[in-house]
Amino acid sequence: LDRLPVRNATRILCVSVVQYYRSLDELRTLIAKAKSIAAPGCRMLVADLLVDYSLYKDVLGVLLGGLQSGTFLAKLREVVSGNHSLYARIRAKNPVLTMTRRDLERVCADEGTSLRFIPCNLTGNCFRAHALIDLFPTTGATEQ
């Protein structure tokens, strides 16, 4: 985000990124940097969040996503063999960032933003959370 023009972005998409952060402080930094490049009225979609996380529910979400997309066998192989992959070894040393809904709400409030969770599946895992963050909320704004 540091390379983008200041106050130019009207929409920011952040998909499958935040779970690789090490702490909520890094999420705070992301929101602050997003605000620095955002034009007034800009919203940021943050998708594929590990909110109220459960490993079993996450694996089930991957498999259900495979059923819906016709890739169930590939997803099953991925889940079963996942412990032997390079990705799994890296993840074991660098755990994913999980949070509660209240954690995310608190981070957004601390940064002067507002958020709402989007109750639909935007990625291949129906149990991942997605949030639309209004970077410059105004009182009395109408919902779009």
Q: What is the pLDDT of residues 28-54, one digit of tens each?
A: 999 999 999 999 999 999 999 999 988
Distance in angstroms (rounded) separating the CA atoms of residues 20 and 120: 22
Q: Give this prediction's pTM.
A: 0.82
For CA atoms 41, 135, 114, 99, the dihedral sign is positive
pLDDT at 95: 83
pLDDT at 141: 47
Q: How far is CA 113 from the centre of its chain?
A: 16
pLDDT at 4: 79
**Residues in the chain, pLDDT under 50:** 140-144
DSSP state of 19: G
